[in-house]
Every structure is written in C-alpha cells, then in structure tokens.
Copies of this chain bind each other. A is one copy, B any other.
Amino acid sequence: MSAHRLFRDRGYETVGVAELCSDAGVNKGSFYHFFSSKRELLLEVIGGAWDETGFLASWEAETPKLPMDKLRQYLQELFAYHYADREATGHVCGSLLGNLALELSTSDREVAEKLDELFKRETGAVAKLLAEATDLGEVSLGNPYRAAEAVVACLQGLLMMAKIRNDLDVLPDSETELLRLAGVAQPWL
C-alpha cells in the first residue's frame, strides 16, 4: 500500500496530500471523498498495518503446527519482508511502527495510542505462541507476555540500528539466533 510505504520511509510531516495522491494515482477529490485529512489516512494506515502483513492469518489457516515453528516462521517472514524491501527501494526502510513512534508519539496522543495497539497486537500474537509453547513444554518461560515484549522490542531496536547503518547485517543470521538473543531460545531449538 503506497501510503504505508511513504509514511514509513519519509515520516508523516514531510509527506503531503499531493504526493500521497500522485503516488497512488488518484486525484485530490477522490482523496477527500475517503479521508477528511492526511491524519485520518495515517490512523487508517496504522490500524490496518498488522492485518496487511497477513503473517498471523496464514498460520491460523494452516494445518496445526507446533507453536515455536509458527513463531520461527513469523520471524523468517518478517526478515524476508525487510530484505525484500531493501531490494525494492535500495535502502533499509525500518518499520512503520518504529519510524512513526519516535516522530509523533509525543505530539499526537491519538496516533500514539494507535501505534501502541499495533505493538500490542504483535506482542499479543507472539505471547500467545510462547504461552502455548510453554504449556507444551517446548520452552520454559515464567512470563510469556514479558518474553514476547522482549522479542518485539529487540526486533524494533535492531531494525532501528539497521536503519541508522543502512545495513541489514545487524539483524540476527536466523530466527533462532533472534530467539536466543531475546532469551527465548532453548538448547534444542
């Protein structure tokens, strides 16, 4: 989706309605038919960002898998997404959540709350898998939600570093290494 990409890559303030329209190939009349303002579009983009990835949807539809396999698949897809983005644009783009969080979270509480919802959906999905994995004895975690926050925070922090360096090498070599870094991986992973 073009607005997602523009906001992620260039931030909110520097992208105007004219550019959003020309990038999407629509005229301003159409834009204001759907959205009362650029800010309303931003809130829609953030609200839809998790569903758009389709990460979780594909797992739910599949034959049952062990929860840690699902989590590893999620991380593999996420890494692949960032590598594909770099191929397509020629630079490391970071994440919509991270990029907007630091631009707008102080100045616009409603945007901050939407970003927090997005973060909680990702964390919740990871925590659900970690809780299932704990129940099945795949891993041993006292607090799966805290562990999920660590996984998501670690990812966001690493993506921020990758963006600063314009180099994805700071990402772990594999999803297993990320889980180990985030304190979740067990020797048998």
CA distance A10 to B108 in the complex (A): 12
Q: Does any Cβ of B come within 8 Å of A62's Cβ?
A: no
CA distance A172 to B147 in the complex (A): 11
Which residues of chain B come closer than 8 Å to A91, judged between CB atoms?
A: 106
Interface centre among A11, A152, A153, A177 (most CB of B within 10 A): A153
- Pair A102/B160 contact, Cβ less than 8 Å: yes
Q: Mark A118-133, 1 if CB is under 8 A from B, else 0.
A: 0100000000000000
Which residues of chain B come closer than 8 Å to A116, judged between CB atoms?
A: 161, 164-165
Which of B94, B165, B182 is A154 in contact with, Cβ under 8 Å? B182
Q: Does any Cβ of B come within 8 Å of A157's Cβ?
A: yes
CA distance A9 to B182 in the complex (A): 28
Q: Does any Cβ of B come within 8 Å of A180's Cβ?
A: yes
- Pair B156/A106 contact, Cβ less than 8 Å: no
- Pair A181/B102 contact, Cβ less than 8 Å: no
Q: Does any Cβ of B come within 8 Å of A71's Cβ?
A: no
Query: For the side of the interface on A, what is the size category?
Result: 35 or more
CA distance A147 to B112 in the complex (A): 30
Q: Which of A138-160 contact B (CB under 8 A)?
A: 146-147, 149-150, 152-158, 160
CA distance A18 to B119 in the complex (A): 37
A119 smallest CB distance to B (angstroms): 6
Q: Given A156-B160, A157-B157, are A102 and B94 neighbors across the interface (CB < 8 Å)? A: yes
- Pair B164/A101 contact, Cβ less than 8 Å: yes
- Pair A164/B94 contact, Cβ less than 8 Å: no
Which residues of chain B come closer than 8 Å to A155, judged between CB atoms?
A: 157
Which residues of chain B come closer than 8 Å to A172, judged between CB atoms?
A: 146
